[in-house]
Amino acid sequence: MGFRIVIPARHSSTRLPGKPLLDICGKPMVLRVLDRALEAGADEVWVATDHQGIADVVERGGGKVILTAAEHPSGTDRLAEVATRLGWADDDVVVNVQGDEPLIPPQLIGAAAAALTDDAEAAIATACHPLESAEEFFNPNVVKVVLDARGRALYFSRAPIPWARDAFAADRTVLPAGLPAYRHIGLYAYRAGFLTRYSGLAPSPLEQWEALEQLRAMAHGFPIRVMVLDHAPPAGVDTAEDLERVRRAFDLAEVSR
């Protein structure tokens, strides 16, 4: 099973400017992510960036890099530019590995590619894991997904779905046993043909109301395969606190060797 990986790495960040270049135990974050991606068994791994400084760091680190346009509204659009410029075939599988996830398990990247390869009708594959607390379930910052019998997404929402009518009428402080409540994880594998069509798809009202980009694909009839993981993978880096957490993880890994 062949697949490709693209790591979008933007320099601008509201919380952590220059995030891909921040040091993690002697190595820029973008190279830490690249290391993980290279362990996933992909045919090619590319870093896609709009910043020359990031490109220079990747090239010095021995990685492949492509400079993309600065005005892309989303990472999906940036991947579409890469797929088009590199001439990838419509059926090629492309995994988007975020440039701020230096702890992402390589096997999870490969699993996302395999999930899409195994579902010939799906345009996208992504992942989720069971929710364990009512606090997370009712948190609008936690994106939930409901699945059909084939493991495809029926809907993504910031709202608490599925709604356990009778159980929640009695008690909303705990999740009822057996409720299929899943948290969406923002790891995506795409078919290159979908990527090249994506920018031409009109935004959907649901996408705009929920502020969830994946609803555009669903609104236009593109099936999304969803892997169900046992638990959440390590979180990425959004804040200075996240950065320190990741640095501690790498420090511990070095000590344990």
Residue 176 lies in a domain: no
Any domain includes 168: no
Please, are residues 133 and 146 in contact by the beta-carbon 8 Å criterion? no
Q: Which element (helix H / strand E) includes 6?
A: strand 4-9
Q: Is the pLDDT of residue 216 over 90?
A: yes
**Judging by beta carbons within 10 Å of its beta carbon (0-12, 13-18, 19+), is residue 178 exposed, middle or buried?**
exposed
Quote the domain boundaries for residue 208: 3-131+144-159+181-256
**Which DSSP symbol is given to 66?**
E
Indicate the pLDDT class of residue 78, thresholds 50, 70 and 90.
confident
- Ramachandran class of 126: left when φ > 0, alpha when ψ lies in -120 to 50, beta otherwise: beta
Q: Is 170 part of any domain?
A: no
Q: How far apart are CA 51 and CA 12, in angstroms?
A: 9
Tell how far CA 251 is from the center of its chain.
Answer: 25
**How many whole angstroms separate alpha carbon 74 and alpha carbon 89?**
22
Burial of residue 247, with CB atoms counted within 10 A of its CB: 0-12 exposed, 13-18 middle, 19 or more buried: middle
Note whether 53 and 11 are within 8 A (CB): yes
As a whole number of angstroms, the distance between CA 167 and CA 164 comes to: 5
Residue 206 domain-assigned?
Answer: yes
Residue for token pair 């994946």: 214
What pLDDT, on the 0 to 100 scale, is given for residue 254? 61
* Mean of pLDDT over the chain: 92
pLDDT in tens, 161-206: 999 999 999 999 999 999 999 999 989 999 999 998 988 899 899 9
21: in domain: yes
Tokens of 197: 């069509």
Question: Residue 220 and residue 119: Cα distance in Å, rounded?
Answer: 18
Residue 69: the pLDDT is: 86
Instruction: Using the predicted structure, report yes or no on whether residue 15 has a pLDDT greater than 80.
Output: no
pLDDT at 255 over 50: no
Neighbours of 236 (CB within 10 A): 18
In a domain, 166, yes or no: no
Share of the chain above pLDDT 70, in %: 97
CATH of the domain at 220: 3.90.550.10
Task: Give every CB contact of residue 170 below 8 A, 6+ residues apart in sequence.
Answer: none
* Tokens read off for 38: 């290279």
Q: Is residue 175 part of a domain?
A: no
Is residue 213 assigned to a domain? yes
What percent of the residues of the chain are helix, what percent strand, and what percent coil, each to the nearest 5? Answer: 35, 20, 45
* Per-residue model confidence as pLDDT tens digits over 106-134: 999 999 999 999 999 999 999 999 999 99
Number of domains the chain contains: 1
